[in-house]
Structure 1
Amino acid sequence: MHPPMSLIFFFLTAGTSIGLFIFMYAIEFLKLFGKGQGLPQEVILKLGVLELILIGLGAFGASFHLGHKLRAWKAIKRFRTSWLSREAVFSGAYGFTLLVYLVLNQVGANPFFEHLFGILTFVLGILSGFSTAMIYASNKFVLEWNSSITVIYYLLMYLMLGSTLMAYFSYLYNLPYLGVFIFLSFLFIALAFGFRLAFNIRQFYLKRPTLNEALNLPHNRPMRVIDTGSTTDNYCTEEFFYRRGKEMLSTVIPLAYLITFLVPLFLVLYAWITGTANHWIFGLTYLFVLFGSALERWSFFVEGNHVQNLFYGLYPEQGYTLRKGFMERKETKISLYG
């Protein structure tokens, strides 16, 4: 699949915003039970404004992926059936409740209403990330994405972005939570690394469809592409297949693993074991995670192979290997009435 830069930008900005808020509000929520000191109002304001800016930039950037931007509001009409619609609704609601929470926090409003909107924002942020992940995981036409692994490591990367940035701010504002966020950064980077690895390993065991299956024909007469029906590139061959990207994957995927997971893990472990704490080590950890996540998202899109590519001779070679006994007994029925 062709990687849309606007959606990669949305992932980075929305992921950082939601991940950062999850940890920021978790500190405030635990304070209700006498666990920890909470955060100074000034810090909450600064982090909250940053989160609002990031989710706003993400929504603006994602709009460039739309063919008719003025019709974006129609996305909410399909809430019951579309994960894309749910993403739009939950992301917009997250931004609104975040703004209300910040106002209530700064004016010293009734704690009940402040935490009511804090919990709502927390839940809406998770639902927004889950909905975004499900857009890909529920797509049965791209087998590489169609897995619960996609959802789990997608959400883990949100937490990875949030925890590494929160570690930086803990040092910057001299908060008593630096050790906690060093540990959480290590935990979520390691978990995201493990699930991303599982995502790639799973691709070796995918049972890819054949042309016979796509055409609903038995396998006793194997079909093959002789003429793709198009002598020039078109929307299907450009948006559903990225030839140059496929050629670069063998280089970009190892680089993404190195920058997104391995280098940040080394930096966090170094800070943890040696007790070293400074702007550079925590700032670089987040920047490596951020830049590496961009490469990871790029790879994720390029790794996707839409089954329509079978008809253009662009599907992975495994797709033409007939699986013995899969459809030999299937009856082929041709009818004008379905």
Structure 2
Amino acid sequence: MHPPISLIFFFLTAGTSIGLFIFTYFIEFLTLFGKGQGLPKEVVLVSGVISLILIGAGAIGASFHLGHKLRAWKAIKRFNTSWLSREAVFSGAYGFTLLIYLVLKYFEVSPFLEHTFGIITWILGILSGFSTAMIYASNKFVLEWNTGITVIYYLLMYLMLGSSAFTIISYFYNLPYTGTFLFLTFLFVLLGLGFRIAFNVRQFYIKRPTLNEALNLPHNRSIRVIDKSSTTDNYCTTEFYYAKGKQMLPTFIPLAYLFTFVIPLFLLIYIYVTDVVNLPLLVLIYLSILAGSAIERWCFFVEGNHVQNLFYGLYPEEGYKLRKGYMERKETRISIY
């Protein structure tokens, strides 16, 4: 699949925004049960404003992926059946309730209203991230994405971005949470590494569709592509198959692993061993995860193989291997009744 830069930008901004607010409000939420002292008002506002700006920028950036941008509002019309529609609704609602929460926090109108909108925003943020992940995980036409691993790994990347971003804020304001969030960042990066490896290993065991299956024919009659269905490039051959990207994957996948996991883990271990913590080091960890996530999302799209590529002879070779037993007992009956 061709990697849309606008959607990668949305992932980075929305991921940091939602991840950052998840941890910011969670500390505030614990005060309802007498746990911790919460956060200074200034920290909540600064973190919240950053989250609000990021989700707004992400929504604007994602709109460039639309063919008719003025019709973006129509995305909400299929909420019952479309994960894309749910993403649009939940993301928009998240930004709106976040704004209300920040206004209530600034004017200190009512602690009850603050926490009510804080909880609603917190839930909407998680639903937004889950809906975005399900857009890909529910796609049965791209077998590489069609797995629960996609959802878990997607949400883990939100937590990686959010925890590393909040660590910077915690250190900058000299809060007592820096050590805790260094550990959480290490934990989420380690879990993310595990699920990313699982995502890549799974690709070796996917049972690829065959032309026989696509045409609903038994496997005892071998079907093969004699010639491409189109002699020139078109939308299907460029958007559903990125030839140049396929050639670059062997280089970009190691880079994604390096920046997203290896460098942050090395720096976090360095902090634990030397007990040296400073702002440039924490910023470097976040930027490494951010850059790595951008490369990883690029790889994620390019790794996807849409089954329509069978029609154009662009599907991976293993997709043409016949599997014995498929529909070999199927009987064809012709009747006038």
TM-score range, shorter chain: over 0.9
1:63 aligns with 2:36: no
1:299 aligns with 2:311: no
* Change beyond 3 A, Cα 1:311–1:281: same
Give unmatched runs, 5+ long, in structure 1. Answer: none
CA contact (8 A) 1:216 1:332 kept: no
Distance in structure 2 (CA, Å) of the matches to 1:77 and 1:211: 35
The code of the aligned residue for 1:158 comes to: Y
Distance in structure 1 (CA, Å) of the matches to 2:277 and 2:335: 72
Which 10-residue stretch deviates more, 182-191 or 221-230?
221-230
1:147 aligns with: 147
2:101 aligns with: 101
2:330 aligns with: 330
CA contact (8 A) 1:218 1:332 kept: no
Distance in structure 2 (CA, Å) of the matches to 1:296 and 1:333: 50
Which 10-residue stretch deviates more, 35-44 or 293-302?
35-44
Matches within 5 A, 1:83-98: 83-98=83-98
| CA apart distance, 1:332 | 4.7
TM-score (normalised: structure 2): 0.98
1:44-95 CA-to-partner distances (Å, cap 9, x unmatched) read: 1111111010000000000000000000000000000000000000000000
Distance in structure 2 (CA, Å) of the matches to 1:263 and 1:332: 59
CA contact (8 A) 1:8 1:298 kept: yes
Matches within 5 A, 1:1-338: 1-332=1-332
1:214-251 CA-to-partner distances (Å, cap 9, x unmatched) read: 01111111100012121100000000000000000011
The code of the aligned residue for 1:272 comes to: Y
* Change beyond 3 A, Cα 1:335–1:152: farther
1:91-120 CA-to-partner distances (Å, cap 9, x unmatched) read: 000000101111111111221111010000
| CA apart distance, 1:335 | 9.9
**Residue-pair matches, total:** 336
Distance in structure 2 (CA, Å) of the matches to 1:93 and 1:149: 26
Distance in structure 1 (CA, Å) of the matches to 2:238 and 2:177: 48
**Secondary structure of the equivalent of 2:33?**
coil
Which 10-residue stretch deviates more, 118-127 or 320-329?
320-329
Distance in structure 2 (CA, Å) of the matches to 1:266 and 1:306: 36
- Percent sequence identity is 75
Distance in structure 2 (CA, Å) of the matches to 1:203 and 1:65: 27
| CA apart distance, 1:327 | 2.2
Distance in structure 2 (CA, Å) of the matches to 1:113 and 1:304: 44
1:278-326 CA-to-partner distances (Å, cap 9, x unmatched) read: 0111000000000000000000000000000001110001101111112
